[in-house]
Homo-oligomer: A and B are copies of this chain.
Amino acid sequence: MRQLPLNGLIVLEFSQYLSGPSAGLRLADLGARVIKIERPQGGDPCRKLAVKNLWVDGDALNFHAINRNKESFTADLKNKEDLELVKKLIVKADVITHNFRPGVMEKIGLAYKDAKAINEKVIYAEISGFGRKGPWAQKPGQDLLVQSLSGLAYTTGNSEGPPVPFGLSAVDAISGIHLVQAVLGALIRRQREGKGAYIELSLIESAIGMQFELFTTFFHSKNGIRRSRVNNGNPLLGAPYGIYKTADHFISLAMMDLKDLAAALEWEELNAFEQRDVFQKRDEIKMQIAKKLKTNTTQFWLERLRKHGLWATTVYNWKDLTQAEGYQGLKMEQALVAGDKPIRTTRCPVTLNGEKLVSSKAAPALGAHRDAIIKQLIEE
């Protein structure tokens, strides 16, 4: 049996939706035993949040993607007996995670101080939307709302257009991984010194942390930060950085010197601009580039850019990518079986000692492991 780093460790996941459970997903990928503590009525609400009406065995496909490789223990935390069972589980737990609103765990009697009283060495990690204190503490901690308040929506799209959110729950994702990082750090310290830890993280702090380059630049910049007027790639970067329309598709241009671009495209007019103009005259330069690139195909431009060693690529959607020649070799997929229906999903991106971190155990049905866990972890 494969020796994974977190083998033997038990994580109690009180978390719901994405930010907390994505942390549990990563911990499970590293070998931890992750037990979801779910309320008997419905469990993690994500079970019922079916995107595109896709379901597997009565639970949303998306729930399966996030919660593969975990166990499910049902407990009504407002019920005295169930609460006692959960406290007995805490005795055996190494890590606890939750993403309830501030105050909820205190009311239940499972805040860090309560968990610590039961198990002094426990690593207790909580994600909130906006922290435990202050005027925002009761705001709903939802990805799009945090993106919107954190400035993130002004990094994307063009300057004359509206703020544009990242089209996936990037803040939830980043927060989950920050939580993992902190939990693992705390486990390292615990192995050395025997101490537990209390870890706090909020979506807004993660969202700001994710934009650390932007904020640092903003703090020192007299004129603020603005997206390109056209073909914005990153507000902090000069021309040509961005995605451009071609005659038949699109092309991405990363950082490159203007004179090299001019040479590659055999386009003398671009030399009217100096390299130092790439920020001050960004919009103007990009508009010229946009006009030029529309005049031929993506392939035509890529051949020339690559001949000069310039960083450019075509643009794929998911269908293009999964059919592209380099995709299969990445071995990014894994198949899970839930009931009798295989679920095709992706694996943890990390390769450890030459082995991809795959785990083919599907997400648990609600409460599927309650009895076994009571026998194994509580009664013995």
Contacts and interface: CB of A to CB of B under 8 A. Distances in A.
A329 B131 contact: yes
Contacts of A4: 185, 189
Contacts of A314: 148-149
B145 A313 contact: yes
Of A175, A212, A236, chain B has the most CB atoms within 10 Å of the CB of A212
A26 B179 CA distance: 12
Question: Secondary structure of the A side of the interface?
Answer: mixed
A200 B350 CA distance: 6
Nearest to A179: B350
Interface stretch (A35-43, A77-85, A161-169, A266-274): A161-169
A90 interface: no
Interface string A163-199: 1111111100111011111101111110111000111
A189 B254 contact: no
A281 interface: no
Contacts of A235: 167
A109 interface: no
B174 A236 contact: no
Contacts of A54: 217, 220-221
Nearest to A66: B213
Which 10 pairs show the lowest CB-CB distances between chains A and B? A155-B167, A184-B184, A136-B326, A5-B185, A134-B329, A209-B349, A156-B167, A205-B349, A65-B216, A5-B189
